Amino acid sequence: MREDVRRDMEKGICDLRKSLPLLRNNCIDFGEGLIKLIKGKDGDVGKALDTLAGIDAYQYYLANMRGIAGRAQRMKPGRKPYRSFTIRTDRPSGSKTEYEKRLEAIKHKNEGAIFPHWTMQSYSTEDGSQVLCVGLAKTEELYLFIEERENNGYIFPHKKPENGDEEFLYVNWDFYKASGLFFYEHPSVFDQKMKKALQDFRNVYFIPDDDTDLSAWEKGMEAVDEPDRSDITMANDEGPRQAL
């Protein structure tokens, strides 16, 4: 494997480790099941899941497992996240592309063809230290949406990354969201509003319950006005979730 390809794969795995928990912890539809990343060292089965089925990770869900296709991209300083799903549509070698293989599997699902249930894409800072945003769609809905739009004459943007020969199709998140199909973005405007509302509620109504201190109510009311009150959490808040 070329050194630059190996390096990009390692960066991608590192970014998925940061972005997938954001979906697990915030998206109800995604769920809280344990997630496992598929790596090159996972042998023939791992390689087949990656290259043939397009599964980069799998999630324990209920008593089963479901696959996830993940793509991670880092942004250069000063650039905003593209907020798009990028799907490989052309290779110099002429071999089947990501788009072709997923569509074929979707159309043969009744014969047992395997494909990832989820498709997600994350955007991070150039050094990978911070996830800027994550988008999530159901693979079957996304790919059939692309095919249907193209069959009706819509032309999706196609681009080649810098220093790359492969071509990618771009599906803008806002454009896809307008279709009414399932889509989740983190952080979303709704997430931010709910977070602020919850914090405001805690700041106003969370008063320490201390029956042994007759002045607890007065102390609690005074504490509400303290500037560092925002770091107080409810007693039954869950601790840190298990890392990937």
164-214 pLDDT, tens digit per residue, is 778 999 999 999 999 999 999 999 766 667 777 887 887 777 655 555 555
132-158 pLDDT, tens digit per residue, is 999 999 999 999 999 999 999 999 999
Q: What is the mean pLDDT of residues 99-106?
A: 97
DSSP 185-236: EES-HHHHHHHHHHHHHHHHH-----TT-TTHHHHHHHHHTSGGGGG---TT
Q: How far is it, in rounded angstroms, from Cα 129 to Cα 239?
A: 22
Q: If we measure between CA atoms, which residue out of 179, 97, 169 comes closest to residue 138?
A: 179
Q: How many C-alpha atoms does 43 have within 13 Å on its Cβ side? A: 1
What 3-state DSSP class applies to 170?
strand
Angle of helix 139-151 relative to helix 98-107, nearest 10 degrees, comes to: 100
Give every CB contact of residue 51 below 8 A, 6+ residues apart in sequence: none
| Tokens describing residue 73 | 């991209």
Position 236 pLDDT exceeds 60: no
DSSP 57-85: EEEEETTEEEEEEEEEEEEPTTPPP--EE
Tokens 């008593």, located at residue:
63
Strands, sheet with 158-159, edge to edge from the N-terminal-most edge strand: 84-90, 167-172, 158-159
Q: Dump strand ranges (E) for 97-215.
A: 118-125, 131-138, 158-159, 167-172, 183-186
Q: What is the mean pLDDT of residues 215-230?
A: 51
Phi, psi of 69 (to 5 degrees): -100, 125
| Tokens describing residue 174 | 């806002």
Which pLDDT score, from 0 to 100, does residue 218 have? 58
Q: How far is it, in rounded angstroms, from Cα 143 to Cα 176?
A: 11
Query: What band does 94 get if pLDDT is binned at 50, 70 and 90?
Result: confident
28-63 pLDDT, tens digit per residue, is 999 988 999 997 666 899 889 999 999 999 999 888
Give domain limits for the chain.
3-187, 192-231
